[in-house]
Structure 1
């Protein structure tokens, strides 16, 4: 630690630590930051009412706050506050949640005058008359305007100011005369209570709302935490709320859902365009399905690559933690996800769909060319695999080695591309391994089932008419 610091002001007290720049770089630096944050948090959490935040390097093209919001809407602000307090405890216990912060802030104490409608009705006093009395007692009641030689003067009925503040008993014992000349007290018409009102009242649409900001742990995928909160907390809470109240996940979760939907649509469009291009290339509706099978293998390989890289990095992180003699190092390393299935990782899988089909295209297209040249179908397939093996391996090896820095590199901004690089390496490796064996097997299987490819089907007869001699 370079130095510690404290900040004191009228509305904020806090502190922190600045780590040496050289020690905060690379994997060891990232682990050190997490360990230091955990140590400071465990101590600061013991201070009642203390709010804190840890400042870390902001990734490129990504929000520094890994948060989403839980929105509670309804007509009664007090009930919204009670439900929000219950949800804070339940959401905080969900694995992967770092903290939950409400946007509801208590303001200054206020007096609430709750009418006793039955007692007021017996004295033939309406809510408007009671409101006029309370308004005159506190802020003053506007009666009209007097024009004094062109200068308007407001007439306001106010209480005589004597420097003494009214107590609750003074409000309750305030005498009031009705239109019939009967006297009663304000405490007979209303219940006077002291409450703490909100500093502000937010609205979503026309409904009052309280928002809970949920901070997700850095090494946990946000969508996974959102699904857990929805299933374990919000489903049961909605059953306890009335029909007038709403409970939903918003904020960054809406943006994440919209982005994932766009990526899924892009992936579907990519598969569709690839299939149509293959149909035009092979002049067949059946052969493209063999090539498209490599996409499924690539997606499986990308997940295997992410899982393997996480296990590998957890081993490295565990060695670092043991070197520093951190308590519960095994548990801390086991919960560490070096790579998460974020938006860029999903984008890498979309890119993968257009890359992995190239290997199968080379095999099938060369086989068709061999058949055109007069080879028998199985011989053409064997020669195609032999001649295309080297180009396929050269392409895959160069691509994998080119993406190794993305998956395993250290430094500023590398956390952005870890998932994409790992997904591309895993998808290319697994799909290539299976493509070299699975594609020829499937083509041979189709031939055994009677779906043969003949030279006559590929080479068109000449349609030129014979030239007549004069």
Structure 2
């Protein structure tokens, strides 16, 4: 009481504080950083090593295993995955999640040091690239250039890149569809043989000739001169004139005598296309602290200016715009917030006087501005996750202000002065309000302690909600009473309740009296309804972690026969590109890109699949609100029309669902050493999966590679000829892959000089007879004299899991017929003796089970702890063990509304709906806290009154207005989000639907069922006391 009275006397300071918060809040709202996703470290480090021209087994043996061996010495790595593919090794280290951040940083440093210490990688392998995967690596926007020949596209792409790089906030720009410039020295093996020259001599001569070496300095005639040896090569003509060999008679053999020199680009191993045309794509990344909306807007403005300087044939389009989702959710927050605010204002003005309503509503901007200031202070940003928290809390921040204002208003109606009403009214409710706000905060806390990938994103939701609720409580308890005491004139205010509310209160009193009369029947009916809803929720309503809603992006992934040249794969993709262009209307299709030679989710996907036989089309759809068909309907239409497409071994359509990647429903990793045994075990699993109903797309990760010419060196013959295996292997590599003899360094690029056999020779099966290897004495030894050439079958890639080879078996599950959990359990039982039958082999079960179980299990544990914390808090507030149980009964009662909503809306229950239920559990107890508190207060006032039923009715009637008000503001605040009135957001809708419907039913049941439970518990207590006293007497 003293504290509230003290605050009432500090009106000037509190008014200035309010003005300060508003001014700072408005400033922060315009300046706070906005981005698509919060900056999140994935606890994943990738080590990527390029080894051009090498087969997967060579990559595994010479690169992947040395890298894994080095990482084995690093503490803090939980699991290690690797993939050895043609010309590339990718090792993915996942750190222990529960390590402190300081230790994680140390582990990442140790990984870099361990990789730097590796000294036995092949000379031709590039330096391993270590990358800490974070959300900042997600592209900000992509700019696609097409419509011109490659040489012209390069020129304009470089020009645009230079203009974009200087934009403030742009971190880096990478290019796709870009080939480095190279000078090819294409050797004629016949001419080489005739002149008794070798490929290694050509490589050596170029390396020796292309030099620019400082020789020091000399002083002469009072001046200092630098000494430098110049011999740099700059043009193809200079390369042609490089001397390979000469003698003392002046005879010399030049490169032009045995080879032609071509100014070209690196051999094509990836093709980028836009709408079916060759393209170069600029992938722009923003700086960590950059504002995505302003950066993207500046980039688009610069692109528009650039378009004015280019020929009309050049097409420039943007795609994968990360700011689009931020702007859309901001629009949803703003429009639905404004619409909700109008509804909230209407409800408050309907129940309270004009000035009281205005004072109450001030709490909403105060809470939001304080939250924004706190977010700025703690380094949080406006992103898709934090905005989610702001939307959730938008209807709750005024609840405590309503309780304070309504009780102050009630005291004014009884004739108290504004000051006395503010003092007494605030004192009566402050404990209950603190308790109700605290329970809501505690209910959201489990989301902050959620483990796994999802937990790294979700924690910002409870952070924002708790800050906003704390700000709203401060305003309601400290500032609002002073405003009521100072700004309200009882003579000018309407202090009589409107007629319609008096009628409503009278009807409620009548119905509550009837309800209490038949309380046991009604409680029995409520329990029966709850049981029916539990059955509906567990048996009828499906649970899908992240339903396919609001999809605006999907992939078409295609594979041709292994060994198909990339040019042929590109030609075949034209059929699928035409299918997309003709099937989708302009209202449905934003744009589409094609990548030939690679399949990946995004530019930083470490689990990419490379090869000349693979390709994918990325289809960007227009927003769902602008098209008549859903993504499911569009994909289904494409699948039907594409059934007869020829020339592909496999064509798959993959929709990108909201939420983090969770893997396929069924995923088994089989570990061991021998590939053939792994294939056999994988086939056993696939046979069992195909027997299960509802299981489809059963496949394994093994894929045969290209056919190979395998050179087996006879070491004895090679030694007798003065050759080593390494010398022979290097000559073979130079002949086909080519050797980078040297590099021409220019101001803005480096040009490799690659030496190899001319294409017309190196693509002939009998070329091996024309390959000679030079020994130490300068003699040319025919390859076929020291080696045997055989044909064999390669493998596309070799995967490892924790240092052992692995083959994965995956499958999709129709959730109408089965569940991934059931299928995984059945497989575990059927193959429980796998390690006994196949010694040294094991299986690990993952997929949705692994990806979601960890997060949901931690959420469940945290929620149980939060539930206990709420119970203990209520025990402290009410000094009772029974009354907290009565209050907590509102939680299962709210589930009735949730189940009814999702059942009649035909919506699956999802992770986002679960967030709504968790938040709801903290909100629904608020009305019960206020109600029970007032029943206790009336019971003390009327302790001489033996009619408990009438006491309950009086207390409930007095609390009818604030209960309806607080519930209505939250429901009307989230209702527009649930139904997309101010703009739809499929990710937010399930949360808002669960929240609004659960609160609606909970409020109705709180007004009638909680009084019945209170009365029934009192009856039971009286009976127990009588029996106990009888025994004592």
TM bucket (normalised to shorter chain) is 0.5 to 0.7
Deviates most, 37-46 or 394-403 = 37-46
**Paired positions, count:** 364
Of 294, 303, 306 in structure 1, the residue corresponding to residue 890 of structure 2 is 294
Deviation (angstroms), 1:138:
8.3
Change in CA separation of 1:240 and 1:414 when aligned onto 2, cut-off 3 Å: same
Q: Does 1:439 align with 2:1010?
A: yes
Counterpart selection for 1:419 from 979, 990, 999: 990
Which of 52, 66, 83 pairs up with 2:651? Answer: 52
Hey, what does 2:966 align to over in structure 1? 395
Q: Give the 3 Å change call, closer, same or farther, for CA 398–140 of structure 1 in structure 2.
A: farther
Whether contact under 8 Å (1:70, 1:247) holds in the other structure is yes
Q: Distance in 2 between matches of 1:399 and 1:139?
A: 85
Q: How does 1:47-446 map to 2 (within 5 A)?
A: 47=646, 49-54=648-653, 59=658, 62-63=660-661, 69-85=667-683, 87-88=685-686, 91=689, 99-100=697-698, 102-109=700-707, 136-137=713-714, 161=784, 196-214=793-811, 225-231=819-825, 233=827, 235-238=829-832, 242=837, 244=839, 245-250=841-846, 253-310=849-906, 339-375=907-943, 376=945, 377-409=948-980, 414-446=985-1017
CA contact (8 A) 1:69 1:212 kept: yes
Q: Is the 8 A contact 1:348 1:423 kept in 2?
A: yes
The offset of 1:357, in angstroms, is 0.5
Note the C-alpha offset of 1:352.
Answer: 1.0
CA separation of 1:30/1:83 partners in 2, compared to 1, >3 Å: closer, same or farther? farther
Where do 5+ consecutive residues of structure 2 fail to align? Answer: 1-273, 279-565, 589-621, 724-774, 1024-1033
Instruction: After TM superposition, give the deviation of residue 416 of structure 1 in Å.
Output: 0.6
What is the alpha-carbon distance in structure 1 between the residues aligned to residue 673 and residue 855 of structure 2? 32
Counterpart of 1:42 (choices 635, 640, 646) is 640
* Separation in 2, partners of 1:225, 1:138: 57
SS in 2 for 1:209: strand
State the shift of 1:105 in Å: 2.1
Cα distance in 2, alignment partners of residues 358 and 195 from structure 1: 73
Give deviations 1:198-243, integer Å, cap 9, x for gaps: 23321212432112454678xx69xx74224314555435566735
Give the TM-score of the pair, scaled to structure 2: 0.31
1:328 matched to which residue of 2?
none
CA contact (8 A) 1:70 1:214 kept: no
Cα distance in 2 between the residues matched to 1:341 and 1:30: 25
CA distance in 2, matches of 1:160, 1:450: 100
SS at structure 2 position matched to 1:368:
helix
| TM-score when normalising by structure 1 | 0.64
Distance 1:98 1:22 in 2: 33
Cα distance in 2 for residues equivalent to 1:381 and 1:234: 57
Name the CA shift for 1:426/1:195 in 2 (closer, same or farther; >3 Å).
farther
In the superposition, relative to structure 1, how do residues 216 and 450 fare at CA in structure 2: closer, same or farther (>3 Å)?
A: closer
Equivalents in 2 of 1:393, 1:417: separation in Å?
25
Distance 1:272 1:443, change over 3 A: same
Equivalents in 1 of 2:861, 2:657: separation in Å? 30
Is the CA contact (8 Å cut-off) linking 1:26 and 1:411 kept in structure 2?
Answer: no
SS at match of 1:449: helix
Q: Does the C-alpha gap of structure 1 residues 57 and 279 become closer, same or farther in structure 2, counting only changes over 3 Å? A: same
Shift in Å, 1:436: 2.0
1:84-106 Cα distance to aligned partner (Å, 9 max, x none): 34545765786776745543221
Distance 2:851 2:662 in 1: 15
What SS does the aligned partner of 2:807 have? strand
Using the alignment, how far apart are the partners of 1:235 and 1:52 within structure 2? 33
Shifted more, 77-86 versus 6-15: the winner is 6-15
SS at match of 1:52: strand
Structure 1: how far apart are the matches of 2:641 and 2:277? 15
User: Is contact 1:25-1:411 (8 Å) kept?
Assistant: no
How far the C-alpha of 1:381 sits from its partner, in A, is 1.2
The 1:29–1:86 alpha-carbon spacing in structure 2 relative to 1, beyond 3 Å, is: farther
Contact 1:238 1:246 (8 Å CA) reproduced: no
Alpha-carbon contact 1:137-1:159 (below 8 Å) kept = no
Distance in 2 (CA, whole Å) between partners of 1:411 and 1:96 is: 39
User: How far apart in 2 are the matches of 1:260 and 1:21?
Assistant: 41
Q: Distance in 2 between matches of 1:367 and 1:260?
A: 38
Instruction: Give me the whole-angstrom Cα distance separating, in 1, the residues matched to 2:984 and 2:849.
Output: 24
